[in-house]
Amino acid sequence: MRNPHKNKKGFDRLSAALNNSFKGLKATFKNEEAFRQEIFLALILIPVAFYTGDTTVEKILLVSSLILLIVIELINTGIEVIIDRVSLDKNELSKLAKDIGSAAVLIAFLNCFIVWLLILFF
């Protein structure tokens, strides 16, 4: 398959890459309920982070834990899409890959929860 960015340079390459990124965000938002829930959670909690964090470091930790959760969800969705592209047949390795991606989201969520808990209550 031909790389669409291969011959692009400078701003044209950056513009094309940004366009593709926005398409990916839009498609994920449209098709993944968990991603929509995490985005809405972030839209609520990011302003709360700036209000409740006492120091710059606390604010950074609160916000970055939310962003990490969203990034891991995007990676998990990419894994799921690739697996479904290869085959919709049930396969133990496909299930394992999806389960591992899901576990990564769980760990990111627990990280977010613990960061918020420690900063807000301890």
CATH code for the domain defined by 33-121? 1.10.287.3610
Residues taking part in catalysis: 73
Residues 70-101, buried b or exposed e (16+ Cβ, 10 A)? bebbbebbebbeebeeeeeeeeeebeebeeeb
Average pLDDT value for the chain: 95
- pTM equals 0.90
Q: How far apart are CA 114 and CA 89, in angstroms?
A: 37
What was the pLDDT predicted at 1? 57
Domain boundaries, the chain: 33-121
pLDDT tens-digit profile of 30-79?
999 999 999 999 999 999 999 999 999 999 999 999 999 999 999 999 99
pLDDT of res. 111: 98
- Residue 4 pLDDT: 59
